[in-house]
């Protein structure tokens, strides 16, 4: 009797194929085929195994990235301040506004001292500064046309003037540093 390695059926010793599942038991010369492989073994090359493992790692990283990005607070949420008593003080996203009031040509650098925005223009203008409520704010502005009119710079926080300066000097320069 010959036991089929696939289904375990006991076949007669002269059987070429398993009577139960038609599995090949002998080769073309009548020799018994040695079918002693373990069931459910990985019968793939090492390169395929590496590709599968790398694919799993890449999918895991993509899923982690997706979950991480979707669970981060929005920019507006990160600008909230938690006070000593544990309450949350919601603030405007960008509470600071710079106002340059001059009828001539001017140049200014303003914002967080580490990341100053550079602006130039003619006539009065307002700029919303990309600063959080707790940031230091700096404004360095000067006349470009050496005019004799009043050159005035204001810093507003949530609509209220928190710092201002003016000059009538022809080479007028104003520097404002504000710490909340």
Q: Which helix (H) or strand (E) holds 67?
A: helix 46-71
> How far is it, in rounded angstroms, from Cα 166 to Cα 139?
13
pLDDT score at 90: 54
> How far is it, in rounded angstroms, from Cα 130 to Cα 132?
7
Determine if the pTM surpasses 0.85: no
Contacts made by residues 162-165, CB under 8 angstroms, sequence distance 24+ = none
- Digit-coded pLDDT (tens) for 30-49: 666 665 554 555 557 888 88
In percent, how much of the chain has pLDDT > 90? 42
- Lowest-pLDDT choice from 38-42, 47-51, 61-65, 150-154: 38-42
The pLDDT mean for the chain works out to 83
Number of neighbours of residue 110 by Cβ within 10 angstroms: 24
Q: Render the burial of 53-68: b for 16+ CB within 10 Å, e for the rest.
A: eeeeeeeeeeeeeeee
Highest-pLDDT range among 69-73, 93-97, 160-164: 160-164
Burial tier of 84 (Cβ tally within 10 Å: 0-12, 13-18, 19+): exposed
Q: What is the mean pLDDT of residues 56-73?
A: 89
Asked if the model's pLDDT at residue 141 lies above 70, the reply is: yes
pLDDT score at 154: 96
In percent, how much of the chain has pLDDT > 70? 78
Q: What is the mean pLDDT of residues 72-81?
A: 59
Burial tier of 22 (Cβ tally within 10 Å: 0-12, 13-18, 19+): exposed
């Amino acid at each position: 009797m010959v036991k089929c390695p696939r289904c375990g059926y006991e076949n007669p010793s002269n059987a070429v194929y398993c009577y139960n599942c038609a599995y090949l038991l002998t080769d073309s010369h009548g020799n018994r085929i040695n079918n002693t492989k373990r069931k459910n073994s990985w019968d793939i090359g090492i390169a395929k195994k590496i590709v599968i493992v790398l694919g799993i790692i890449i999918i895991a990283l993509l899923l982690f990235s997706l979950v991480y990005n979707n669970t981060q607070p929005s920019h507006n949420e990160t600008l909230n301040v938690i006070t000593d008593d544990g309450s949350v003080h919601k603030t405007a996203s960008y509470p600071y506004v710079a106002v340059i009031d001059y009828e001539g040509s001017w140049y200014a650098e303003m914002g967080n001292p580490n990341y100053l925005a550079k602006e130039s223009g003619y006539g009065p203008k307002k700029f919303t500064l990309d600063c959080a409520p707790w940031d230091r704010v700096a404004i360095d502005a000067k006349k470009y046309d050496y005019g004799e009119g009043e050159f005035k710079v204001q810093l507003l926080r949530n609509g209220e003037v928190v710092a201002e300066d003016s000059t009538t000097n022809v080479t007028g320069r104003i520097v404002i540093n504000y710490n909340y």
